[in-house]
Structure 1
Amino acid sequence: MPARSRTRLVGGLVAVLAFLLPLVLDVPGLEEPGERMLAIFLMAIVLFVTEAIPLVATAVLIIFLEVLMLTEQALVPLGEPPATSREFWAALADPVIILFLGGFLIADGAAKYALDKNLAALFLTPFRGDARRAMLALILMTAALSMFMSNTATTATMFAVLLPVLAGLPSVAARTGFALAIPIAANVGGMGTPVGSPPNAIALGALAAQGESISFVGWMAATVPLVLFLLLLGWAFLSWRYVPARTPLDLQLEARFSRSPAAVVFYVTAGATVLLWLTEALHGIPSTTVGFLPVVVLLATTVMTGDDLRALQWPVLWLVAGGIALGHGVGASGLDAWLISLVDWSQLPGVVLLLALAGVGVALSAVISNSATANLLVPIALALAGTLGLDLAVVALVVAVSCGLGMFLPVSTPPNAIAYATGTITTPQMAVAGMVVGLTGLFLTALVLPRYWALVGL
């Protein structure tokens, strides 16, 4: 039996055992709803870590089991169910899911009408002749796209643009530097907006359940300074390590924007959506409602069709929904309070706690999906923040950002895997570059950013 199959088989068996133990054994200090939720939570941890079944399958299994075990529809009835089935099913259409739905449709439209490639070509062309400046432009362009598109799609697009760039580089080292620049920029850029990565959406959904909210611009104001610093750090390291000064580069790129009526409608709709996201404080329309605008307009004008809608990244949306439902179940069942009571957290200074949460986020997301990491960590982190009187938004931002910093290995993120598959990067090269950016980001996120947020009143 292949090693991967054995891992999945063992993972599945351990998940079943983890699920059954809290149901069979009496857990001291935990009521029956909490015991049932603990069974689901432990099972989710094992399945997310081992990927015994696909991540999206774990997400929908969480919702299904919560309905069957914690609501009025429970197979073994509870005296007072902690939640209704409607609350768990609602996770599949949570406002954060709608926000991501609009972002995904814009991203797919950008690929359909070649807006992404043309913007990249337009942005890179002025930097022909100097490899270091061209790499900086490539990093900034990749990060900008990744703020509004999936980092996987951004990476695939930018590598398509990069092929002629790589051909014009004079050395293997320089090609390695450029190939590393894309996943680093895509991973870091995804932290910059609420629609940039699933951990951001999971954190926003969990905050909304607690009655807290962060606007689109508020998120950007909180994270973009870190994003820019890490991008410049990554560029400086890659330039020093792989691209000598005055390395020549001959770029042959041409931007050819489509002028068809459908393309023009898409350009206007995408631009209007981003503009409304960025001016939420002025018009007051929530970013989640704005996110549904491109869905309505692009489908109504047939600029995007049912086929385009079917091709969206529904597994990612359902994975986020599973995380939202998991967080709701942990809170409603009392499992969060029980988990927190296991340790005397009050003895830890707030800054140490933030550093610990960020460290766990980075470590877990380096070896499992950052979405899975956020699904597991965000509910516990927010419950802990509520118990200790910490700012919920600060804790949510720290955890979400840290989940995007685990970029050390080819398996850590899809952008890393795509870059590694080009054959121009070795695992040690990726690990070193990822640690330089990721570990720096970890300490800045936990130790510096909260002070910055407090200073500027975010």
Structure 2
Amino acid sequence: MQATRRAPALSRKELIGLILGAIAFVLPLVLDVPNLDPMGERMLAVFLLAIVLWVTEAIPLVATAVLVIALEILLVSDQALLAVPEDAPAYSEFLSALANPVIILFLGGFLIADGAAKYHLDKNLAAVLIKPFTGSARRTVLGLMVITALLSMFMSNTATTATMFAVVIPILGALPEGKPRAGLALAIPVAANVGGIGTPVGTPPNAIALGALAEAGHHISFADWMIMAVPLMLIILLGSWALLCVMFIPGGLAVELDMRASWDTDRNAVMFYVIAGATILAWMTESLHGLSANVVGFLAVVALLVTRVMGGPDLGKLSWPVLWLVAGGIALGDGVGSTGLDAWILGLFDWNAMGALTVIIVMGALGLGMSNVISHSAASNLLIPLAMGLATGIEGLEPVTIAVVLALACSLGMSLPISTPPNAIAYATGEVSTPDMARTGVIIGIAGTVLLVFLMPPLWSALGML
């Protein structure tokens, strides 16, 4: 007789998180919160619960996301278990977050990324692109960072890092032990995190920001996002390479590589190359043909499935938890806005006394700080809905500015092995120490955020993006 499988015991952190979450949820429901009506109190209970569960990870991040949607339906929608006003949001508004157009955009991006791995496009591209950078160790690191950032613009940071380490492991063996190997191992997660900011499909915080902006009536095209983010990405990428060279890679160190590409040329592989190339081209030329990037992403899914290039098993392997996590953030933002909770929270502070620039600095610092200790997605989910509320009440503060700044700042949190999966993958090689990762991540994060909050908004304004 087969033994019954026991559920793993809760860790101390998880147990504390569940207890604190329960307390945070109950308090606004049993206490009279000044200047907040019952609908706002219920939404405050959901919001506080989400904060505690996302920070402590007492339950999986995606579980918190879907719990947020369920509680919003049961507490503040027209299907609530408690009395609600006649103008309460329809329950379908919260469920629709699971099929938000931004989710569809990411669905297309994920399927193309998985197809790149299935047909070995990622490794073959890496092998071809690294050839001009061989010889000098510093030049090789630059090449690997450029390739990693390029792939990370269209693939998940985690998948890109895993792919690149398959390429990097032989290179690590060709370098002396100690600092040079640590520098090369750090270069991959740094480039993956930085590269992800370059496109809307590069990382979940970008999707969360786009979803919040779309809900507020601000449409940012695929190309617009790239115009806003790629200059910062390139500056931080080159600065990070220079920092890694100074700290880890001595000048004059040589490395020889034998990288060969082996392209798949069967019917499905060729079809995938064509569909993926056409999709990326269509994303980048949205202003010319008028098709939304979300629609293009969905058409890519249709084309890949209809041509049998990808199938049901490939859909099953997609990062559905990430998609639902983004949906939870979108639903949280909807609930915070529709119940007036955003106005109440903003009323707790004299934000107007700070001025637009100060608010951007504070929010950028919050995004960077929180994303170092909790997931980038969770930090974005918590901060972007509040930031969007701020944008409606402070003179000179553009919604696009604050949302994009927060999304990009959250992607710069990379100082600890727990900060982001690419960091964990690099740490698992045994070549990187926590102090080295912390020093590198702190310098890049702070310098990048300073550039982001002071340099980018004026540039966006000059380019007519705001």
TM range (shorter): over 0.9
Counterpart residue identity of residue 432, structure 1: R
3-state SS, counterpart of residue 257 of structure 2: coil
Distance between the aligned counterparts of 1:185 and 1:87, measured in 2? 37
Quick one: distance in 2 between partners of 1:15 and 1:251?
52
1:412 and 2:419 correspond:
yes
3-state SS of paired residue (1:378):
helix
Q: Deviations over 1:368-422 (max 9, x none)?
A: 0010000000000010111114211011110100110111000000000000011
- CA drift at 1:76: 1.1
1:107 equivalent to 2:113? Answer yes
One-letter code aligned to 1:421: A
Q: Distance in 1 between matches of 2:86 and 2:160?
A: 47
CA distance in 2, matches of 1:224, 1:126: 22
Q: Residue type matched to 2:440 in 1?
A: A
- The residue type equivalent to 1:30 in the other structure is L
Q: Secondary structure at the match of 1:387?
A: coil
Shift of 1:81: 4.7
CA contact 1:70–1:81 (8 Å) conserved in 2:
no
Provide the residue aligned with 2:3 in structure 1. none
After superposition, residues 44-443 of structure 1 pair within 5 angstroms as 44-389=50-395, 390-443=397-450
- The answer to whether the Cα contact below 8 Å between 2:175 and 2:255 also exists between their aligned partners in 1 is yes
How far did 1:170 drift?
3.2
Looking at structure 1, the residues matched to 145 and 316 of structure 2 have their Cα atoms a distance apart, in angstroms, of: 31
1:21 to partner: Cα distance: 0.5
Q: Which of 25, 28, 35 does residue 41 from structure 2 map onto?
A: 35
1:244 positional shift: 1.2
1:349, distance to aligned residue in structure 2 (A): 2.0
Contact 1:362 1:405 in 2 (8 A): yes
Q: Provide the secondary structure at the position in 2 that maps to 1:79.
A: coil
Shift of 1:3: 11
> Match of 1:455?
462
- Deviation readout 1:299-331 (Å, 9 max, x if unpaired): 111111100000000000000000000000000
Equivalent residue number for residue 16 of structure 1: 22
Distance between the aligned counterparts of 2:87 and 2:46, measured in 1? 16
Moved over 3 A (4+): none
Please report how far the alpha carbon of residue 4 of structure 1 lies from its aligned counterpart in structure 2 after TM superposition. 7.2
Cα distance between partner residues in 1 of 2:117 and 2:308: 16
Q: TM-score when scaled to structure 1? A: 0.98
The AA in structure 2 aligned to 1:391 is E
Equivalent AA in structure 1 for residue 89 of structure 2: A
Cα-to-partner distance string for 1:217-252 (whole Å, 9 max, x where unaligned): 110100111100111011101111111112110102
Residue range with higher mean Cα deviation, 79-88 or 315-324 = 79-88
Return the alpha-carbon distance in structure 2 between the equivalents of residues 39 and 170 of structure 1: 54
Secondary structure, aligned partner of 1:254: coil
CA distance in structure 2 between the partners assigned to 1:259 and 1:246 by the alignment: 40
Q: CA deviation at 1:119?
A: 0.3
Which residue identity is paired with 1:114? Answer: H
Rounded Cα–Cα distance in structure 1 between residues aligned with 2:32 and 2:273: 59
Cα deviations by residue, 1:340-371 (Å, 9 ceiling, x for unpaired): 11111111021111000000000000000010
Cα distance in 1 for residues equivalent to 2:423 and 2:9: 22
Cα distance in 1 for partners of 2:403, 2:307 equals 38
CA contact (8 A) 1:55 1:372 kept: yes
Distance 1:175 1:356 in 2: 36
Q: Is the 8 A contact 2:367 2:410 kept in 1?
A: yes
The question of whether the paired residues in 2 share the 8 Å contact of 1:170 and 1:248 is answered with: no
Q: CA deviation at 1:456?
A: 1.8
Q: Distance in 1 between matches of 2:252 and 2:279?
A: 40
Please give the per-residue CA displacement for 1:170-217, whole angstroms capped at 9, x wherever unaligned. Answer: 343211111000000000001111001100000100011101111111
Residue identity opposite 2:160 in structure 1: T
1: CA distance, partners of 2:449 / 2:14: 31
One-letter amino acid matched to 2:306: A
> What is the TM-score with the length of structure 2 in the denominator?
0.97
Give, as a single letter, the amino acid of the residue that structure 1 aligns with 2:347: S
| Cα distance in 2 for residues equivalent to 1:408 and 1:128 | 29
CA contact (8 A) 2:355 2:394 kept: no
Fraction of identical pairs, as percent? 57
